[in-house]
Structure 1
Amino acid sequence: MYPITTPSDAKLLRPGELPQHDRGGGARTVSLVSPALGATTFISGITEFDPGTAIPFHSHNCEESVVLLEGEAIMDIDDQHYPLQVLDTTFIPPNVVHRFRNISDSKPMKILWTYASPQATRTLRDSGETRPIALEHHPK
């Protein structure tokens, strides 16, 4: 059963064997590193976007890094649109409004995300609503 714990308390995670949580709107997340594993300074996970899916514009209360794992993506930030290639990596400072979108009409897109705090939040630009990122990792 996963994660695998080593004698030194390190963990081995196999995303394909972890639960996937439907976030709605065509996005699904697999939580990887989290406080449940003992993380105290960051969290990470993988989110998959259906073809044509765009998450709403939002910001976070901490630094974020995103790596495009597969698919065709655009990062919208600072009123600009940046096409991403597989393995392109972003660094987004706290409180910067942005979003990622899958521009394919036939293939999924996957990102690996890392937040610099286990208490990371997402604030939606249009509504001002703020929620803990951890809420995105649980079944609705």
Structure 2
Amino acid sequence: MNVPFPASVLRPAGLTAFSRGGGASTVPLVTRARGAEVFLNGQTLFEVGAGIPLHTHNCPESVVILEGDAVVEIDGEEHLLTRFDTTYVAAGVPHRFRNASATAPMRILWTYASVEATRTILATGLTTRVDAEHSR
């Protein structure tokens, strides 16, 4: 079998993170550049007080809290989340995450249901492809 991208083991601690601004940084994991054809995923670390702006995607997204406590706002309703709590947000639904702890970081694992995933920031209307936000 001729496979353009071999199976991989990805170790986030050894990969380059990029800043999302406001105290959040992302490590892309499964990406188109690594051979993804169906979904994308990665981790985002939120420092104390960090959050990301209200946004939507053009495909469903699932997020798992890996460490710390989070507040997620989904379609105007806030929920407190803790380790291993998981969200599902349908395409087009406004949402955002922020670190709920005053003393510890919070880390999430995100998965988009498409390699063509986009993010639209509601405050600005700016839309970018998720995998174009970094050069991995």
Q: TM-score, normalised by structure 2?
A: 0.91
SS of residue paired to 2:131: helix
Gaps of 5+ in 2: none
Deviation of 1:134 after TM superposition, in Å, equals 1.6
Counterpart of 2:102, as a letter, is: D
Deviation string, structure 1 residues 2-26 (Cα, Å, up to 9, x no partner):
xxxxxx9211111111111112211
What is the rounded CA distance, in whole Å, between the counterparts of 2:133 and 2:63 in structure 1? Answer: 16
Q: Which consecutive unaligned segments of at least 5 residues does structure 1 have? A: 1-7
CA–CA separation in structure 2 for the residues paired with 1:18 and 1:133: 17
Structure 1 runs (4+) deviating above 3 angstroms are none
* Alignment of 1:63 onto 2:60: yes
Which of 7, 26, 29 lines up with 2:26 in the alignment? 29
Equivalent residues of 1:29, 1:137 under 8 A apart? no
Counterpart in the other structure of 2:114: 117
- The CA deviation at 1:122 is 0.5
60-69 or 71-80, which moves further after superposition? Answer: 71-80
Corresponding residue of 1:101: 98
Map of 2:80 onto structure 1: 83
Q: Is the Cα–Cα contact under 8 Å of residues 44 and 109 in structure 2 kept in the other structure?
A: yes
Partner of 1:53: 50
Tell me the equivalent position of 2:131.
Answer: 134
CA RMSD of aligned residues (A): 1.5
Task: Give the Cα separation in 2 of the matches to 1:78 and 1:135.
Answer: 25
**1:78 CA displacement:** 2.3
Q: TM-score w.r.t. structure 1 length? A: 0.89
Asked if 1 retains the 8 angstrom alpha-carbon contact of 2:65 and 2:84, the reply is yes
